[in-house]
Each structure stands twice: as C-alpha cells, then as structure tokens.
Chains A and B, each alone.
Chain A
C-alpha cells in the first residue's frame, strides 16, 4: 500500500503522508536497535523483526554487552501459555499466580492523547479496549516448545533448579502488592564549587545563613552547625576518595579476571569469596591433622615435638662438634711435635688443603656457616698466564 505494491519504490517517491506512516510503523511498531539498520521490503516483516532481528539481536547484545532491556515480554508470555509451559508448572505445583507476577501492558487511548494535549476532550466508549489479565485460549495446533514432557523428568529438572538457585516461591506467602512498590525517584545532587557532592538542603541552609545575617555576630549554634557542615564535607570527601579507590580496585580486578566469556558480577564475586573461605578452612584442617599426626609419631618414638626441644638438641649438637674439633686439633699438634721432620716434609710437600691442622681449623667455618663463595680469593684469580 505504502510502496504501491512495488518493493523497489524509493523512499522519496512515497507520498508525504505515507512516508510518515512508514516512519511511524518502522520506529514504533517494528522497533529496531540503535544503528542505521532499515527493514527491507523483501523481508517477512513481523517474523524478521521479532524472530531474526529483534529478539535474536537483543539476546546477542545482552550476552556481548550489558543490554538489559527485554523485548517482546508479552509475546514470550503468550508462547509460554500456548506452549503449555505455564500449565505444566501450575499442574506440578511449582508456580503460583503470585510467583508468576502477572502484569499487563499500558494501553494508549484517548485519555493518553488528552494528557498529551493532542485532543481537547476525551469521550470514553464501551468499545474501548480494556486491560485484560485473562490468558488467551489455547490453540490446538501450536508447535511444542518443551522437548521434555514426562512429568517425573520435569519434576527432577525443577528440583535441581531449586537446589541451584535456592528455591522458588510456590505458596502465596508474600504480602499483597509487594511487587507494586512505587518507583523511587533519585534526588538530584548539586555540585559545590570544590566539585564535592553536597545535599541541596545543606546548600540551601548556607545560602539562608549568608542572606539573613551578613553582619551579625555568629552565634554559637550557627558555629556548631558550620562545624558539623565542615565535618560532613570532610567525611563526604573521604567517602568520595574511598569510592574512587574502590572503583579503581574493581576495574583492576575486572581487567585481571574478566574475559570475553566471563563477566564478574557481585553475586559471582560473593560466591568466589565463599568458596575461597571454605578452601582456606579445609586447608587449615588438613594442616592441623598433619601436625597432630606428626606429634603423635614423635611421641611414639619418645621425642617431644615442641620447638624448645629441637632448639636444645641443636645447642647440644653444636657443643659436641666444638669439643670434637678442639680435641682433634690438640691431638694433631701433639703428633707433629713428636715428629718434627715429618711435620716439615708434610708442610713443604702437602697441598694447601693439607696444611697444618691449625690452618685447617682456622679455615673451617665457625659454628655459623656463611654462604659467601671464595670467588674473591686473589690467590686463585691473579695467576699469570704462561
């Protein structure tokens, strides 16, 4: 009709009223996402937009970016009804009307136009469409949307889902109208000269103070108030700094752990924290068990497993080694004194490693060994070549 039956008709060739109509249809009824995508007249309009373009695009966008809008909510609900999913869940006792949170869409009618001041007077008629919460009649030839129809299997699947997610609300135990909480409108925050956020009430107060008493002596009450104001401003600055730091940390954390397939959400972070805690607790238990087993083994041998005992033993060992070293040196000296010739020969022929016992002992490390290497020894490094 708009294109006069020819799919190749250009946009400029269409009548002005039809062009507007086309714009109206393409931008209101058949909504498209942001971008320059334009529906082609060759496409199956409804199916193309709803199935291939709109829903699939929205799902892909939701996965790729953080798009949160759900298109075709009513159409999906209709599919659930006609596909007998709602009936199956109700029959299994897994979903009550309250849990399903039934909503109806808003209707644009003459009253809306009157509010918009497009028409002056609205006269309602009996034929006007009214919001309906009644489900539509089931179609006999509706294609199945559930691959599994066995109630036992479905029950098991739902039970698993309940285990994973922490339960569903089956009974009508929520207070009536709990989901009809009025929308909270965020207050606008004014920015002060310093760039810090201050509530409008505070700025108003300060303005009043300035205008009312420019030349008056500042009373103690106003002083106190100002003190409180300044302290609250400091607190706000601190809070802002903390917020910035936290945002930075979160960004770094996200960069570290997030990938194209994984996105860190507060829930996931909480889960990870809980898991880490449980793992740490398990490791602690393992460590304690190992220590207990070691102590028991040592006790069975007759050794006290405490650290004091080990220190004592180490001290004893060092004393024994010292005495043994001293005795060995003494004996060697005595032997050399008895045979002076042999000592001379040994001194002249022996390698530096076989020098006198005294030298050897002096070369030996003291009770505390050092890790320093003898690479700085000039005797070995400064050997002339040839």
Chain B
C-alpha cells in the first residue's frame, strides 16, 4: 500500500519530517501538568466569576469587565514558571502546514 499520495495531498510530509527530532521530556511533563484549555466555555466561566465578584458588571462587555478579549481557543500553561500559550496557529506552524482546511 502506497501512502505517499494521501500524505502528499494532506501536505503532511513536513509534519513527518518534524517528528524525527528531540523530545524534551521534562519540559513536556512540566507543561502538561499545568496545562488548561482556555476555550469559549472557560471564557464564559471567567465572565460569570467576574459578575459574581462584582454584580455591577452584569451585562457589560469583557473589555468593560477588565478581561482580555476572547479570540480563539488557547492552551495555557507554564514551563518552569514561565507562562506559555499555544494557539491553533502555533500548532499549524509547528506542523509546517497552513491553518486551513482540506478535504481528503
């Protein structure tokens, strides 16, 4: 079975080339234990928490609440105390693919 055509269509050859490289076990573990997904649900929860703390903020925008604007899903964590944020764009860049869709 020849997988070349499928992988070429998906533009995944650079991804497989990237896979052959070093893995920093300690950093990955450190990142993973502190990782949390900041998605729409988490953003809504953040707003609710802000309203619970200060009821006068009800009905106001995130900016008015003093919160950061939610633009996309993020993976937030810290590596050795240094805050790290990973977005879809970063993952796409690391995979060497465009952040666009494609049918098989």
Which residues of chain A have a CB within 8 Å of any CB of chain B? Answer: 1-3, 5, 7, 17, 20-22, 24-25, 29, 41-47, 50-52, 55-56, 59-60, 62-63, 70, 73-80, 82-83, 85-86, 88-89, 94-95, 99-105, 107, 129, 131-136, 139, 141-143, 145-148, 154, 157-162, 164, 168
Contacts and interface: CB of A to CB of B under 8 A. Distances in A.
Contact of B99 (A47, A104, A147, A160): A47
Given A2-B6, A85-B84, A105 B104 contact: no
A45 to B, nearest CB: 7
B1 A60 contact: no
Nearest to A154: B82
Contacts of A104: 20-23
A237 B42 CA distance: 50
A43 B101 contact: yes
A55 B78 CA distance: 16
B79 A101 contact: no
A145 B84 contact: yes
A80 B91 contact: no
Contact of A142 (B27, B78, B81, B93): B93
B28 to A, nearest CB: 5
B97 A95 contact: no
Contacts of A102: 22-25
Contacts of A88: 82
Nearest to A153: B82
Interface string B62-83: 0000000000010100111111
A77 B27 CA distance: 8
Nearest to B38: A56
B28 A136 contact: no
